[in-house]
Amino acid sequence: MSTLRLILADQLSHDLASLKDCELDNDWLLMVEVREEANYVKHHKKKIAFLFSAMRHFANELTGKGHQLVYTKYDGKDNKGSLFGEVKRLCEQKNIDKIILTHPGEYRVLVEMQSWQEKLNIAVEIRQDDRFLASLEEFASWAQGRKQLRMEFFYREMRKAWHFLMDGDKPVGDKWNFDSANRKALPKEMSPPQPTKFETDAITQEVLELVAKEFDDHFGQLENFHFAVTREQALVVLDEFISQRLVNFGDYQDAMVQGQPWMYHSHISFYLNCGLLTPKEVIEQAENAYRNGDAPLNAVEGFIRQVLGWREYVRGLYWLKMPDYKNENFLEATRSLPKFFWDANTKMNCLHQCIKETSENAYAHHIQRLMILGNFALLAGLHPDEVNEWYLIVYADAYEWVEMPNVTGMILFADGGLLASKPYAASGSYINKMSNYCKSCHYKVKDKNGSQACPFNYLYWDFLDRNKEKLGNNPRLGMPYRTLNKMTDEKRQIIQRDSQIFLQTLDTYEKV
């Protein structure tokens, strides 16, 4: 009798919980390029290529360590098309009497796994994913009894628990958060370094050919694939971020520049979220850069907050609130996703640039995702289901546990303020301040109304006006609502008119 240990596409870690105590001569490992998973939404071509290539490289590393491993390729003639089908097949072939799993990253997968013991009449053990720094039980304990689940307070507790960026019992620099120092626009004379790129080897080339053939109707471009696909390569990406970009990451992490999609960001979320890197080692390298005088505190704290604070927080919130969280729609948004989210065919240059670069790279940095793409989705009243699906499809680092809280809670305020204390709504002035997109736009950011006005300008006020009953008492929106209330009836009617014309044009799939 043998044990089966299943490894999912986002579990490419040699110290994975389900691999601990593995017996080389007796246990079987299973990895599957699952048709059901690759197609349940039409994932970006580069996302599929990245994960399939990383999986195949990881499988080779495991067999090189002496593991008995069965690997089912996407186009394998015996591929059953589903996780359960492949697990059942191997259980029958290898006389399996126990299945050991690591907790998956998506609720629907966990529900399926929890049914396997009864379906197969085989013992199934689901182990905690200890690659995260906060267990689900620890997050639930922190959340219990709190009226507000604010990330900032969770982050401080994590800093204390792990003693990252601490001087005794106090935070380094006597402040927990240096976010106010991290909002500079990029000066014209500065040019961010290129991202770390890798040549494709034979394994990756075979995967690229497979994806081009089997996923031709999926979103995004496959050309110029350069992602890391092994842990060794992922470590190079991390090292080059620390040495080349971290020093400027803090100042310019919110900046956006046309033709510069990568900026000073780390580009390691691909590798953290699939397991090639671990959050602990990433945080330690960043802190060492500060301690050694190689990076300023505002940059290092801001980066660590993203990994130790935000990433751990959204995962805990997702599992705490699922499955109900999936159905949240506090603002009762109903509009369908515009066609330009797929083809970038819009006269709004900021949206055109971010969607075009997303198609090219399966990547956009967090301010592009939040304050351009997400801001428009919020102001236009796009339905949470469609926005969630889009974000899950287009980004190579997107898995439901990290995507849904960011979209439902942070971007759309669809959870009514469980995650964010206010909607992240902004007019064109914010975009103009933090980017150079407006200089090349069909619309005029300085115009507040009329056919040439930046749509973000009137949509911002229309959003506040039509949601006044639900948002008017939000203390963080006091200033804009006071401004709105001082507007003349004529001014508000003009805003409503411009918004209605724009949104009706959007609904009829005309170019806006």
Note the pLDDT of residue 410: 97
Reduced 3-state DSSP string for 444-505: ECCCCCCCCECHHHHHHHHHHHHCHHHHCCCHHHHHHHHHHHHCCHHHHHHHHHHHHHHHHH
Beta partners for residue 166, in sequence order? 171
Nearest CA among 302, 295, 294, 301 for reference residue 166: 301
User: Which helix (H) or strand (E) covers residue 69, if one does?
Assistant: strand 68-72
Q: How far apart are CA 309 and CA 286, in angstroms?
A: 14
In degrees and rounded to multiples of 5, residue 447 shows phi and psi of: -80, 130
Note the pLDDT of residue 406: 98
Residues near 304 by beta carbon (within 8 Å), at least 6 away in sequence: 164, 165, 283, 286, 287
In degrees and rounded to multiples of 5, residue 160 shows phi and psi of: -65, -45
Angle among Cα 244, 284, 296 to the nearest 5 degrees reads: 50
Using the CB atoms, write b or e for 12-25: b if 16+ within 10 Å: bbeebbbbeebeee
Beta partners for residue 257, in sequence order? 260
First to last CA, the chain: 63
Residues near 281 by beta carbon (within 8 Å), at least 6 away in sequence: 238
Beta partners for residue 447, in sequence order? none
In the structure encoding, which two tokens stand for residue 508, read together? 């009829």
Note the pLDDT of residue 36: 85
Note the pLDDT of residue 105: 95
If you ran DSSP here, which 8-state letter would residue 371 be given? I
Nearest CA among 418, 319, 325, 435 for reference residue 375: 435
Are 289 and 300 contacting, i.e. CB atoms less than 8 angstroms apart? yes
Q: How far is CA 376 from CA 61, 294, 340, 354, 411, in A?
A: 44, 38, 12, 12, 9
Using the CB atoms, write b or e for 189-198: b if 16+ within 10 Å: eeebeebbeb
Residues near 228 by beta carbon (within 8 Å), at least 6 away in sequence: 196, 198, 234, 236, 237, 270, 271, 276
Using the CB atoms, write b or e for 310-344: b if 16+ within 10 Å: bbbbbbbbbbbbbeebbebebbebeeebbebbeeb
pLDDT tens-digit profile, the chain (512 residues)? 799 999 999 999 999 999 999 999 999 999 999 888 888 899 999 999 999 999 999 999 999 999 999 999 999 888 888 999 999 999 999 999 999 999 999 999 999 999 999 999 999 999 999 999 999 999 999 999 998 899 999 999 999 999 999 999 999 999 999 988 778 999 989 999 999 999 999 999 999 999 999 999 999 999 999 999 999 999 999 999 999 999 999 999 999 999 999 999 999 999 999 999 999 999 999 999 999 999 999 999 999 999 999 999 999 999 999 999 999 999 999 999 999 999 999 999 999 999 999 999 999 999 999 999 999 999 999 999 999 999 999 999 999 999 999 999 999 999 999 999 999 999 999 999 999 999 999 999 999 999 999 999 999 999 999 999 999 999 999 999 999 999 999 999 999 999 999 999 999 989 99
Predicted TM-score (pTM) of the model is 0.96
Nearest CA among 385, 392, 408, 352 for reference residue 44: 392
In degrees and rounded to multiples of 5, residue 418 shows phi and psi of: -60, -45
Note the pLDDT of residue 79: 87
Q: What's the one-letter identity of residue 253? A: Q
DSSP 78-147: T--SSHHHHHHHHHHHHTEEEEEEEPPSSHHHHHHHTTHHHHHTSEEEEE--TTSSS-HHHHHHHHTT-S
Q: How far is CA 288 from CA 160, 210, 283, 303, 375, in A?
A: 17, 41, 9, 13, 35
Nearest CA among 307, 198, 308, 292 for reference residue 247: 292
Note the pLDDT of residue 216: 96
Are 237 and 271 contacting, i.e. CB atoms less than 8 angstroms apart? yes
Q: Domains in the chain, start-ordered, CATH in brackets?
A: 2-127 (3.40.50.620), 136-197+230-321 (1.25.40.80), 340-507 (1.10.579.10)
Q: How far apart are CA 457 and CA 267, in angstroms?
A: 31
